[in-house]
Chain A
Amino acid sequence: MTTASNLLAFLGLVVTLLIVWRQSWPARLRLFAAQSLLLAALASTVGVLAQRRGLVLVAAVVIVVKGLVIPRVLARIGSGAPVRPIAPGRSSGITLLVAGGLVVAAYVIMLPVTSSVELPTEGAIPLAFAMALIGLALCVTGRDALGHILGFLVFENGIFGLAILATYGLPGIVEAGVFLDVLVIVLIMEAVVVQVRREHDSIDVDRLRELRG
């Protein structure tokens, strides 16, 4: 189980770094879907090896919600937006460097967790947390609504991965709440973005600058 969970979490982190690197929206979207599928694989692996049947069900829900439905909604939000940012993008070298720093930070922050237990999955916990931190950074630095949502979803995936690795799955009512929550956030975001586009003729939220002080 150690090998499998380490490998899957590592792949998840690689995909996260690719999301940081790529600028084209459809490519980032595909990477997000791939990340969700890796998460589902992680959940079902842990579920089978640790004999938690609930986790296999969770994996199925991840595939449907985060692998299919959410990427479809995101594609709908993104349709009409330019594929790449029109303004010349910042060099992704620096953001990748920051992401690397976040991976190190993740190991340091998760030290109390990994040193307090002997779990077969403990090596992968900092990797999942690094995914979450990079997602948070993407969300905070995102320049448009799409960037914000994608960052948030990567952040959420990282936390979800961490929950699977550290606890082998949360009680059902919480898991259900988390899925419902993510789905509703994305749908509300869609409604808001549609209105932003109608008002401002763009989804560049930098134009939302009326409220100050």
Chain B
Amino acid sequence: MMLVFVLAVPLVGAALSWRAVGRLAATLHAVTAALTLVGALAVAVTVNRGEPLAAFDGLLRADALSAWMIALIGIVGALAASEAPRYVAHATPGRFYPLFHLFVFTMLLAVSTDDVGLMWVAVEGTTLASVFLVNFERTRASLEASYKYLLICSVGIAIAFLGTVLVYFAGIQQFGDEVHALRWTTLLRLAPGLAPRVIELAFVFLVVGYGTKAGLAPMHTWLPDAHSEAPAPVSALMSGVLLSVGVYAVLRFKPAVDAAAGPGFARGILLSLGVLSVAVAAAFLWTSPNYKRMLAYSSVEHIGLVCLGLGFGGTLGTSGALLHVANHALAKSTGFLISGRIRAAYGSAEIAAVGGLMRSMPRTGAAFLAAMLALVGLPPFGLFVSEVMIFGAGFAQGFAAVAGVALFLLVIAFAGLLRGVHAILYGPPVREPAEEAFGWRSALPVAAPLALLVLTGLAWPPGLADVLARIVAIVVP
């Protein structure tokens, strides 16, 4: 029931605000976002206190892994929603609010269904709901970005469909089609008996397909464009949670593939794509002239790290990867929200056009610096802890070479990102200090995620370790 509620809220909100304008639209938007957050947190708490939630004859199902994602989508959704009115006020509202909530709905549906076919439909739905959000400013560049986004992600997701078909095929060949072969719970139960070669082929298609959505190199080419051209709240949602939904889809199939084809196969693919993603990001973080693109490449880097953690596997690697997903969601969405404010103040997303931010907008600059330090993985922020967990797993599981190379690339990426941040904050000032509007409403969406990051970095809240252990028990049988 609670699961149906958290899905129904954004859907109903989107439908109601379809024709709403002005103050009514803004109120509906705020209420929908707040209720979604409440529902998401309620689901997370309930699932972690007891058994998985289910509805509609098991079609919808939320276990601890789903709950983790639902909570993240709720939190990042609320952060992004709080920032959205700044963008809508300047332009014609268009369909921003309804599409925003539809986007949130499709992501929530993708992580809370037991049917991998329906999950595929929902992941494709995320593209369709967000393509007009990317093109919200209707400039030439945003048009190009949305075209690339739609085309590349549609092709990618069609490849994932091929993988899903093959998984279904393997299931019904072995066990007849009276079983729900697309139900994840069934799939996992039957996995040891599935034809290993078919499952391997299917997993390749699934990784390429959902990996496109996750922004893994070399399928990441849509990502820097879409993330840099979309309005900041949409970039925050895309980078913070949409990419992780792609990773989630791959992660759902991993235990079945491990059972059918042995653990080496999925691990090899995830490790190579992970290292490649970090390498590509490290290179482009040095050359990118645009700070929103810089943040986008940093997402490629972090998704690569998550894949490395899942590839190294074991309790440490998997829980490190999951924690990293959450940490990255918080840090990156904060980074995008602040970069949107900088862009609004300076009218440009070029690094060269924004110099001396620390002097002209000291509070915004300080918030930006904090978010960036969190992103490069410095303590006391949580990304430091999750990166230590991931690399610790790598060395402990005997992948010292892979972990070493990735660590080296990470240092290059670290330096590249900090170089850009330094130019923005302390470069030659391009304008005089001006009145900086930074009240509590501006501070809260920045301070709240940073505070959470300090918590995951310094002192885990009670229960976090249990939650991670529950999820690991699901994906590492």
What is the total number of residues of chain B having a CB less than 8 Å from a CB of chain A? 53
Across the interface, do A116 and B197 meet the contact criterion of CB distance under 8 Å? yes
Inter-chain contact B166/A148, CB cutoff 8 Å: no
B143 near A199 (CB under 8 angstroms)? yes
CA–CA, A116 and B197, complex, Å: 8
Instruction: Indicate which residue in B144, B151, B198, B288 contacts A148 across the interface (CB closer than 8 Å).
Output: B151
State which of B22-30, B157-165, B246-254, B454-462 sits at the interface with chain A.
B157-165
Which residues from A are CB-within-8-Å of B59?
173
B145-162: CB near A (< 8 Å → 1, else 0) gives 111101100110010011
The answer to the question of A51 belonging to the interface, with a C-beta cut-off of 8 Å to chain B, is no
C-alpha spacing A23/B125, complex, angstroms:
33
Q: Which chain A residue lies CB-closest to B162? A: A159
- Contact of B284 with A132 in the complex, beta carbons under 8 Å: no
Give Cα A205 to B283, complex, Å.
27
Q: Which of A132, A162, A171 has the most CB of B within 10 A?
A: A171
Grouping DSSP codes into helix (H, G, I), strand (E, B) and loop, the B interface class, with mixed when no group exceeds half, is helix
Indicate if the CB atoms of A174 and B155 lie closer than 8 Å: no
Give, as a whole number of angstroms, the nearest-CB distance from A101 to chain B: 19
Contact between chains at B128 and A185 (CB < 8 Å): yes
Residues of B within 8 A of A27 (CB): none
Q: Name the residue of chain B whose CB is nearest to the CB of A168.
A: B177
Residue on A with the closest CB to B287?
A213
Evaluate contact between A170 and B155: CB separation under 8 angstroms.
Answer: no
User: Could you say which of A13-21, A28-36, A58-66, A189-197 contacts chain B?
Assistant: A189-197
Q: Which of A152, A162, A210 makes the CB contact (< 8 A) with B151? A: A152
A192 to B293, CA, bound (A): 23
With the chains together, A209 CA to B147 CA distance in Å? 12
Chain B positions 162-187 with a Cβ under 8 Å from a chain A Cβ: 162, 164-166, 168-170, 172-173, 177, 182
**Chain A interface main SS type:** helix
Complexed CA–CA distance, A140 and B121 (Å): 23
CB closest chain-B residue, reference A129: B162
CB distance from B199 to the nearest CB of A (A): 9
Known contacts A181-B128, A210-B141, A210-B144; A162 and B117 CB within 8 A of each other: no
A208 at the B interface (CB under 8 A): yes
Q: Are A167 and B165 interface neighbours, CB within 8 A?
A: yes
Known pairs A184-B128, A199-B143; A162 contacts B165 (CB<8 A): yes
Residues of chain B with a CB closer than 8 A to A184's CB: 128
CB pair A173 B121 closer than 8 Å:
yes
| In contact, B128 and A211 (Cβ under 8 angstroms) | no
Alpha-carbon separation in the docked complex, A103 to B272 (Å): 28
Residue-wise, chain B 45-64 has the 8 Å CB interface mask toward A (1 for contact) of: 00000000000000100000
Give the docked Cα–Cα distance between A195 and B145 (Å): 13
B57 to chain A, nearest CB (A): 12
Q: Spell out B's residues near A (CB within 8 Å).
A: 59, 115, 117-118, 120-121, 124-125, 128, 131-132, 135, 138, 140-141, 143-148, 150-151, 154-155, 158, 161-162, 164-166, 168-170, 172-173, 177, 182, 195, 197-198, 200-201, 224-225, 228-229, 284, 287-290, 293
| Minimum-distance CB pairs A-B, first 8 | A177-B121, A112-B197, A174-B117, A208-B144, A166-B169, A116-B195, A163-B165, A211-B225
